[in-house]
Each structure stands twice: as C-alpha cells, then as structure tokens.
Amino acid sequence: MRRKAEVAEQLSWEARLKAELARLEARNRQIRWINLLAVAVLIYGAVSLLTHPSFWRREALEIKIPPPVLFVVLILLILLVLYLVRRELEIRRLNLLALEEKLAMESERSAGMIDAVTHVFSRRFLVELLQGEIARAERNRRPLTLVMCDLDHFKQVNDRYGHLVGDEVLAQTASILKSCVRGSDYVVRYGGDEFLLILSETDEAGTGAVLARVREKMAEGDRVAEFGVSLSLGVSLHRAGHTAEQDIAEVDARMYAGRSVPKAESSAG
C-alpha cells in the first residue's frame, strides 16, 4: 500500500505548505507591530533628547540612568529583537522553499507513477515497487504472485479502428483488472498492451480465483467483447532470493510460452 499512500502523502505536503504560509504571514504581522513599536520608541527618544530634562520629571518617572543612555539601550534591544525575528523569518523562508521544492518533486513523481491512458501504475516505477513487495514478502514469509497479461488481437483493433478505440479497449481492460484484485495489490501497465498484476500474500489458490474473475469480466466487457479481444496470461510465484528483474523475466516468459489463459495450478512456479 506504500505507493497508493503517496497520493495521501502528497496532500499532507500541500497541507503543510499551507500551514507554513499561514505561519509566515503571522510572522510578517508581528514584524509590522515591532516596527511600529520601534518607531514609537524612536519618536519618544527623540522628543526626550530635544526637550528639557524636566520633561522626564513631569511624568513622575524616576530613572537612575541618563535618558540618552536609556534611549540607546532601548534601540539596541529593539534592533536585537528585529534581528532575531528577521533571522527566524529567513530560516522559515528557506524551509518553505525546500518544502515547495519537495512538493513539486512529489507531485512530479506521483504524476509519473500513473499511466495517462489506463490510470494504473506505469512501468517507470515497477522495479522499485516490486523490490519493496519482494522485501516484505520475504521478511514476513508470505507468498507473492505475479501475473503477466497480454491483450490478444489488439494490434488489429488499432489498425482497423484507430488508436482512440484502442485506448478505450486498454482503459477498459485496466479497469477490469483493477476490479479483480484487492486494494493491497497492484496493476501496472508493463508495455503497450501488456499489464502486470502484483498479488501480495497470494498463493496458487488465491491466484486461481483472481484469474477466474478476470476471465469472467473480460467476457462481460462491452468494448473488449465487441472487438474479440482476449488475454494471454502467465503466472509466476516469487521464489526467495530472486530479484525483481528475475521475477519479471520469468513471468514474462511464462506468458509468452502459454499465449492463452492458463490455470493457476499449471502456471505458478
């Protein structure tokens, strides 16, 4: 579920970015108030320097240090506060820029993960995704099954009816495959008319149930049935120690060896 959670993660980045912007705006308001305070102190200090010393006594303010010294101290304190606030704002600005860059990268990454035609995962992240599933399967000692799906007679559809109709067939096939697996599984567009199913914690019996659903729904699909499109499937059970590349090569070879919808019992290894 890690890759599927990235969309939610992207939304959380957007929420964090908005929160940072709100905090930055609040800091800007604080800076404006401090600036007003600094102006008031400057005016007050200037008046005290230009008026007779009795100005201070009329206010019944007893000061042990000369007013000019007090004025300088106040100015230094305000300058120090301004420096600290501006320094914090600069740090926040840099953090905000880093957050925006991270958000842009995550958005680009998320967009690249989904195939534009079929709305399933693209091949670009297949190896990375499969490596994570292999590690989890071996760590938990749970089965992991791959199913390679190839559309039969798809080239004839493209040649006769055009690529727009071909895209409709691909999209419906992807939708059927997604409806036949669980939320923890993955459907990846492996090639032009090839899809790869990654079935986590799925043994031979579970794979057989998935293939049965695929066969049934492919027969019911209006576009795929209309053009006589079917699927050739190859099934391979991950073996401990195999890499993602080895698993993909094996299930691909099984699909081309069968070129028909096989039974899970005869195709899983």
Contact present, 213 and 138 (Cβ < 8 Å): no
Which residue in this structure is represented by tokens 């000369």?
66
What phi and psi, each to the nearest 5 degrees, are found at residue 116?
-70, -30
Count of Cβ atoms closer than 10 Å to residue 180 Cβ: 21
Strands, sheet with 230-237, edge to edge from the N-terminal-most edge strand:
121-122, 186-189, 194-200, 144-152, 230-237
**By three-state DSSP, how is residue 114 classified?**
strand
Check if 203 is active-site.
no
Contact present, 131 and 183 (Cβ < 8 Å): no
Q: The dihedral of CA 181, 200, 7, 128: what is its sign?
A: negative
Q: What does the longest C-alpha to C-alpha distance in the chain come to?
A: 106
Structure-block tokens of residue 197:
């199913």
Q: Which of 16, 183, 204 is nearest to 92 (CA)?
A: 16
Q: Which of 226, 220, 218, 230 is nearest to 260 (CA)?
A: 230
Which residue in this structure is represented by tokens 């997604």?
178
Q: Which of 196, 106, 92, 102 is nearest to 148 (CA)?
A: 196
For residues 126 and 251, what is the distance between their CA atoms, to the nearest angstrom? 14
Q: Which of 115, 150, 193, 247 is catalytic?
A: 193
Q: Which residues sit opposite 195 in a β-bridge?
A: 149, 189
Please list the active-site residues. 193
